[in-house]
Amino acid sequence: MTFQTSLKSALFGLSALTLAATGALADQLADIKAAGKIVAATEMHYAPFDMLENGEYVGFDRDLFDEIAKELGVTPEYQDLPWTSILPGLEVKKFDFVLAPVTMTAERAERYAFTLPISDATVAFVQRKGGPLSTPEDAKGKTVGTQKGTAQEIQLQAFSDKIGGITIKGYGTPDEAYADLMTGRLDAVAGSAPLLNYLAKTRPADFAVVNPPFGKPTYFAFVARKGEGDTLIAAINEAIKKIEDDGRMKALQEKWFGAATELPQEMPQL
């Protein structure tokens, strides 16, 4: 065999491997459509995005993804998992998609494929009605709770460093932090503004949001596996755009958040 023939054979083999890899990466959407279902995971303790009411899964994410699944022509199946197991579970293919609202960060974008934004995620404080904070800076020297392992926890730590010190307590779920806030073990809880606004709206005698938010403007999105999930993300983004354009997104925002918010229709700079 001549060197030229060997080179041609090697190049042909490389091309075949490249095409095979490309095909494999494009298979997830086709596989989901062939199965007729998409399995999505979230933590159902993140009101108003994901909640259990009398054992039934409800919330903004459920309503929105039901509409997305209709556009894809598949049936959604939902799994309730602890937040700390959701992104690792996606990576090892325990389910197809992450329905939990994931804060969009540059670090996460290196590992996961984000959809277009589905909600604002800017971080703020909530306190008991009549609590000690008039501005976010008043949190200096106070004890503040937040959910462990979240982008909100990272932003709270950065804000603590900026203003000179906050005692931070981590919790498994926001509900656990709110319970300690009500008993006086915390001065405030840090979380994304939509969650805190919903909490104050539904329990106005107990909670009040501290304005303005202290975090940098950020967004929530859904997540798929990077590479393999690219075709799925593209299809879901088209569905999100359609849902925004025909008014369904606005209706869902008003239903769950009390007001509609305009969202980017292109990927934001992270």
Domain spans of the chain?
20-120+219-257, 123-210
Name the nearest CA neighbour of 119 among 24, 34, 49. Answer: 49
CA geometry: angle 128, 130, 132, nearest 5 deg: 85
Q: Are 188 and 181 in contact (CB under 8 A)?
A: yes
Q: Which two tokens stand for residue 262?
A: 């305009």
In this predicted model, what pLDDT tens digit does every residue of 173-227 receive, in sequence order?
Answer: 999 999 999 999 999 999 999 989 999 999 999 999 999 999 888 999 999 999 8
Q: What is the pLDDT of residue 259?
A: 81
Inform me whether the pLDDT recorded for 258 exceeds 50.
Answer: yes
* Interatomic CA distance for residues 180 and 136, integer angstroms: 19
Q: What is the pLDDT of residue 6?
A: 44
Helix intervals (H) in the chain: 3-25, 27-35, 60-72, 83-91, 106-109, 151-163, 174-182, 193-202, 230-245, 248-257
In this predicted model, what pLDDT tens digit does every residue of 66-96 receive, in sequence order?
Answer: 999 999 999 999 999 999 999 999 999 999 9
Q: Which two tokens stand for residue 215?
A: 């975090």
Residues contacting 114, CB < 8 A, separation 6+: 102, 104, 108, 221, 222, 223, 233, 267
pLDDT band at 18 (very low <50, low <70, confident <90, very high): very low
In this predicted model, what pLDDT tens digit does every residue of 32-73 receive, in sequence order?
Answer: 999 999 999 999 999 999 999 999 999 999 999 999 999 999
The pTM assigned to this predicted structure is 0.78
In this predicted model, what pLDDT tens digit does every residue of 227-257 receive, in sequence order?
Answer: 888 899 999 999 999 999 999 999 999 999 8
* Interatomic CA distance for residues 63 and 118, integer angstroms: 12
In this predicted model, what pLDDT tens digit does every residue of 152-171 receive, in sequence order?
Answer: 999 999 999 999 999 999 99
Inform me whether the pLDDT recorded for 16 exceeds 50.
Answer: no
Task: Evaluate whether 20-120+219-257 and 123-210 have a shared fold.
Answer: yes
| Span 20-26, average pLDDT | 43
- Measured over the CA atoms of residue 128, residue 134, residue 140 and residue 146, the dihedral's sign is positive
Q: What is the pLDDT of residue 186?
A: 98
* Bigger pLDDT: 21 vs 86: 86
Task: Return the C-alpha torsion angle 93, 99, 102, 104, nearest 10.
Answer: 90
Task: Return the C-alpha torsion angle 250, 195, 83, 237, nearest 10.
Answer: 20
Q: Are 64 and 53 in contact (CB under 8 A)?
A: no
CATH topology of domain 123-210: D-Maltodextrin-Binding Protein; domain 2 (3.40.190)
| Span 24-39, average pLDDT | 85
Q: What is the pLDDT of residue 207?
A: 97
In this predicted model, what pLDDT tens digit does every residue of 94-121 receive, in sequence order?
Answer: 999 999 999 999 999 999 999 999 999 9
> Whose structure tokens read 């859904």?
222
Q: What is the pLDDT of residue 270?
A: 84
Specify the CATH architecture of the domain 20-120+219-257: 3-Layer(aba) Sandwich (3.40)
Residue 168, Ramachandran bin (φ over 0: left; ψ between -120 and 50: alpha; else beta): beta
pLDDT band at 17 (very low <50, low <70, confident <90, very high): very low
